[in-house]
Amino acid sequence: MAKHGKKYRKGSSTVDRTKLYELEEGIALALQASYAKFDEAVDIAVRLGVDPRHADQMVRSSVMLPHGTGKEVRVLVFAKGEKEAEALNAGADYAGSDELLAKIKDGWLDFDKTIATPDMMGEVGKIGRILGPRNLMPNAKLGTVTFDIERVVKETKKGKVDFRVDKNGIVHASIGKVSFGTDKLQGNISAFIDKLLQLKPSSSKGIYLKSISISSTMGPGVKIDPNQVQALIKGS
């Protein structure tokens, strides 16, 4: 069993692990329990009533968080000619074609997100074995294979979050920083959960939002009442 330090135990002592908290109170507790000297990320884990083994129950998409993630995202765009220039003008950190493909083949991976124009996917596919396992492959379902480069680059830099349900039916995402405070984190969490609700598969039966937990990077998890969150979103 893992041993935790005094600061973690002190933070955990304020959280009732058997209780489902309302969203605002839960966020406040998670922030109160954070103790690191750096600005910790705040993460969310949502267990869904889906079976990812069935293709029609695979929940995967992206969402624009109204207040961003607080993280600087390094964006690489695979494009040529005018689209390469469009990407750089829109704020992409890197843009190009053959030279970037060669660098990646040689082991360079100093970027967080990739976008590609459709005409580049034939070449990008050749390095799929490098990008794929690192969740760096452009994907049409996530909107990262597109000719609308300017819009997608700007959205990605502002805080567009990609997510997919794992084999256990859980969706994980980073939804901000401790420094955001309660109001901004509540706005981001509401946007994230609202997107999940929109994506509920028609074949999913029974309870869809089974559980919600939030935590700072170093802090304990705080359980949130899924029913209260759904009611909050529907009433907004």
Report yes or no: 67 and 188 within 8 Å, Cβ to Cβ. Answer: yes
The CATH superfamily of 75-158 is: Ribosomal protein L1/L10, domain II (3.40.50.790)
Which pLDDT does position 35 carry in this prediction? Answer: 83
* Residues of the chain predicted below pLDDT 50: 1
Which pLDDT does position 236 carry in this prediction? Answer: 66
* Helices and strands (H and E) in the chain: how many: 9, 9
- Listed by start position, the domains of the chain span 6-69+160-235, 75-158
* All residues at 6 or more sequence positions from 110 whose CB lies less than 8 Å from its CB, including other chains: 74
What is the value of pTM for the model shown?
0.82
Which pLDDT does position 13 carry in this prediction? Answer: 67
- CATH architecture assigned to 6-69+160-235: 2-Layer Sandwich (3.30)
Which pLDDT does position 16 carry in this prediction? Answer: 85
Which pLDDT does position 1 carry in this prediction? Answer: 43
For the chain, the residue count is: 236
Report which of 160, 155, 78 is spatially closest to residue 116, judged by C-alpha positions: 78
